[in-house]
Amino acid sequence: MVVRVGVSSGVRNEQSETLDPFKRANTMCGIIGIVGNQNVAGQLYDGLTVLQHRGQDAAGIATVDGNRIHIHKGNGLAKDVFDEASMRLLVGRIGIAHCRYPTAGSEGSAEAQPFYVNSPYGIALAHNGNLINAEALRCEIFEQDRRNINTESDSEVLLNVFAHELGLQRTLVPASAVRAVAGVHKRCRGGYAVVSLVLGLGLVAFRDPHGIRPLVLGKREHNEGTEYMVASESVALDILGFQRVRDLSPGEAVVITSRGELFSEICAPPVERAPCIFEYVYFARPDSMIDNVSVHKARMRMGMKLGDKILRLRPDHDIDTIIPIPDTSRDAALEISNVLGVKYREGFIKNRYVGRTFIMPGQSERDKSVRRKLNPIPLEFRNRVVLLVDDSIVRGTTSRQIVQMARDAGARKVYLASAAPPVRYPNIYGIDMPSANELIAHGRTVEEIGQQLGCDWLVYQDIEDLEAAVREGNPELTRFDSSCFDGDYVTGIESGYFDRLGQSRSDEAKLKRRAL
């Protein structure tokens, strides 16, 4: 089901949309913005295909054509949402794109992005992250700003805050947009990276004051002038031939006008920088650079440090084979193999047409998905002591299934190593981790977790080693958002927040929404 919005004096919607009665939030997504010298829709589509790992629930593109904003969006992968006819409608040399999956599980196309408001000027916006004060803002927007929110998405909340702040400015110039972003930073709390289109101005992109969610700037020289691009990950720049210039600084706003002029300013009071460390552990592609750190190299260093820990704990280990749980653990597993001097083998074949399992609602659904997703190669397990390596362990459902697969394939003993520390707390800045009581590590010792998973030995990365592995790539990163490991939330948390979060993220809540 696809929504098209044409913009001139008003909005045309090709379907009626009903609101889900349950609160939802935006989550881990991919965003792109381009100011080019020719139609950019095809480039935005290509960029989405390499950011598809960041979200498979919905996709959308918005472009500016003179005084019109064209939007096409819908549920599913980019290849399913866009066809030749829809791409022909997306005319314009300035545009933004978005792919997402939802933290609390929307299945209606009303939540697909970009979102649009026609006042002031006409604004389209796409957002990666999560606002932790969205409910308070929703009331403010209605009662004080006199604006209406049509969905339960915090991205629409953020759009209306930005629109209101921009409407307070007397003129529409880059400095006006920067002041509007400064107003957003004052009112919004959480992790967010944003790309937006403003009719009569151009592209406006910004990043939260702590730099929790990533956003990178690139440029490309063209015969007709310099073209600019912003994206969640540098790999999107690479595929389109843009040179990576730099990451946006925390609290920074970048304005690229329709004439190709770039303006930037940090417009939030200085606070501690804390990029999300889970980007390096799991979410980002290994060929991306985030905050001047190679994700590939960071994962290699995670493996080296975990290998050193294994040697300290078990210098006389009996491990025969190191086997990664594909795909994101391969870099770490190979380095563990090098440190231990034990052969590395591919022991699982992955079905690449099954989505990420830790976001799937319902135990039975996740169980079936794991079986469909991975199949063991028995000769790599038979009569061997194997060390399985994963990037992290969240609910433990997948890990438990994989440990049993290894046993069924003939392993004599099954050890399990996690390149990340125990996930004991929910992530509230844009990653769909469940409520705390559904996390396997919450309230359990490592030994108890190992018993739950059914492995013969379980070893986790130490948080100090994880952070050091990333920091080695950029010593200026003195702090990370490691809240899902240590419970230290850089923005602070209001009373009752986790109770509400648990109600919306639990399996029971997700299954109720799916039944509606």
Q: Which residues are catalytic?
A: 29
- Both tokens of 402, joined, read 């994989």
How far, in Å, CA of 462 to CA of 157, rounded?
A: 37
Q: Could you tell me the end-to-end alpha-carbon distance of the chain, in angstroms, rounded to an integer?
A: 17
CA angle 381, 383, 388 (to 5 degrees): 40
Q: Which residue has the tokens 């990163």?
A: 477
How far, in Å, CA of 319 to CA of 337, rounded?
A: 10
- Both tokens of 478, joined, read 């003195």
Q: Which residues contact 171 (CB under 8 A, 6 or more apart)?
A: none
Inter-residue contact 39 to 17 (CB < 8 Å): no
Inter-residue contact 41 to 92 (CB < 8 Å): yes
Inter-residue contact 372 to 354 (CB < 8 Å): yes
Residue by residue, DSSP assigns 201-236 as: TEEEEEE-TT--S--EEEEEEETTEEEEEEESSHHH
Residue by residue, DSSP assigns 357-375 as: GGGSSSHHHHHHHHHHHEE
Single-letter code of the amino acid located at 88: R
**Closest of 211, 207, 216 to residue 273, by C-alpha:** 211
How far, in Å, CA of 47 to CA of 49, rounded?
A: 5
Inter-residue contact 193 to 31 (CB < 8 Å): yes
Torsion of CA 221, 224, 230, 236, to 10 degrees: -60
Inter-residue contact 337 to 322 (CB < 8 Å): yes
Residue 484: strand, helix, or coil: helix
How far, in Å, CA of 240 to CA of 226, rounded?
A: 14
Residue 178: strand, helix, or coil: helix
Inter-residue contact 215 to 232 (CB < 8 Å): yes
Q: Strand 252-257 and strand 58-65: pairing? A: unpaired
Query: How far is C-alpha 454 from the chain's CA centre?
Result: 30
Q: Cβ atoms within 10 A of the Cβ of 35, count?
A: 26
CA angle 313, 305, 274 (to 5 degrees): 125
**Closest of 311, 145, 126, 283 to residue 205, by C-alpha:** 126
Q: Cβ atoms within 10 A of the Cβ of 376, count?
A: 19
**Closest of 243, 247, 251 to residue 284, by C-alpha:** 247
